[in-house]
Each structure stands twice: as structure tokens, then as C-alpha cells.
Amino acid sequence: MPDVDQDAVSDEAIAAFAHYTKEGYENVTGNARGGRRWDPAANADRDMTTAEKDKGIQTLADLVTHWGSMPKFAGNTVYRVVHEKKGIDELALNASMTKLNPTSTSVALDWARVGKDKTSCKITVVPGAAAKGPVDTRAVSTYTHEGEILLPPGTRFEKTGTDGPYATFTATIPTA
């Protein structure tokens, strides 16, 4: 796990990423999904309130502001479990999509998340601008055991095939 240099990373940056890894995630993702977020109490999606939408916008702005000061992920392979036939798993072979929100991935696949109606993804990261590179949140994450690596907003995913149990993708990091 990387150390966070307290002199190089501001308290605001640490707070922004720690907030995102806990309660901020659902509002940012909900905004990217057209104003609908997961409601665990109802076990279903629901419309977001105006306050939740506003919090999601502010959380994303805080992440973007502090992205360049956070520890970067030095590897080139990350993993993600997604619902079958949704999001990046909907892509046809060699098709691509650009995600406008950060994408949570992990340094290792959490096999506990794999199950019915789920797809395991192996993602090769294609570098872009150094300041926009994947951020290693393990040192500030609420859930350090997840080994969370955030890919920046604007990352383009391309479905490249399969590798054993994995659907494979490249993730091209934005250059600007």
C-alpha cells in the first residue's frame, strides 16, 4: 500500500477521496446514471433528491480538483466486477465507451463479489496524462481491503475479448 506524504497531499485532497470511497460514491454514480441511485433499503434504484444531485456534483468537482496530488497507481492491470449486460459489459467486441464519472477498480479481483448475473473484468490500463492517471486510494479509503484504484473521469473502455473467466478491456486514460 502506498504511503500518503502528508506534505505533498493536502488534507482537503485526502478528505475528498475518503468521502468519495464512503458516502460520496452513490451520488456521483447516480448523477452519471441520469439522476437515479441505488437505495439499499428498497433494494432498488430510485430518483435522487436535488440535495443528493448537488452533493454528487460537488464530490466529483472535489475529486477532479485534487486528482493530480493523490498517489498514482503504478501498475497496468486492474479488476472490476459488473452486472452482466450492463455498463461496459454491454459493449460488443472492439466497441468502446467513455465514462464521465470515476471508475472504481481493484488491484485484485474480490471473488466474493462474483456470482449470479455478474461478470469479472480484467482491465489493462493505457496511460494518458500523468496528472490524470489512475489514483491509488488504498491509503485513504474507508474500505482499504478493497484495494481500490480509481480511473479518472473521461476514461475510454474498449472490450477486447476474454481471458479465462474474465471479460477483457483496455482503459485509455484521458490525455488532457
Together in a domain, 65 and 101: no
Together in a domain, 61 and 90: no
Judged by DSSP in three states, 128 sits in coil
On whether residue 159 sits in a domain, the answer given is yes
Residues of the chain with pLDDT under 70: 1-8, 110-113, 129-131, 142-143
pLDDT attached to residue 60 = 92
Together in a domain, 121 and 88: yes
pLDDT attached to residue 139 = 77
Cα separation, 55 vs 27, in Å, equals: 7
**pLDDT tens digits along 141-157:** 766 777 889 999 999 99
- List phi, psi (to 5°) of 82: -130, 165
On whether residue 6 sits in a domain, the answer given is no
Amino acid at 142: T
- All three cell numbers of 85, joined, read 449486460
Interhelix angle 11-19/50-66, rounded to 10 degrees, is 130
On whether residue 3 sits in a domain, the answer given is no
- All three cell numbers of 114, joined, read 462474483
Together in a domain, 82 and 64: no
Domains of the chain: total: 2
On whether residue 136 sits in a domain, the answer given is yes
Cα separation, 61 vs 64, in Å, equals: 5
On whether residue 1 sits in a domain, the answer given is no
pLDDT attached to residue 129 = 67
Structural domain ending residue among the three candidates 24, 48, 69: 69
The separation between CA 12 and the C-alpha centre of its own chain, rounded to angstroms, equals 20
Together in a domain, 91 and 144: yes
pLDDT attached to residue 89 = 80
Number of H helices, E strands in the chain: 3, 10
Together in a domain, 57 and 107: no
Together in a domain, 157 and 83: yes
pTM score, two decimals?
Answer: 0.84
Together in a domain, 21 and 58: yes
**pLDDT tens digits along 109-123:** 766 667 788 888 999
CATH number at residue 95: 3.90.176.10
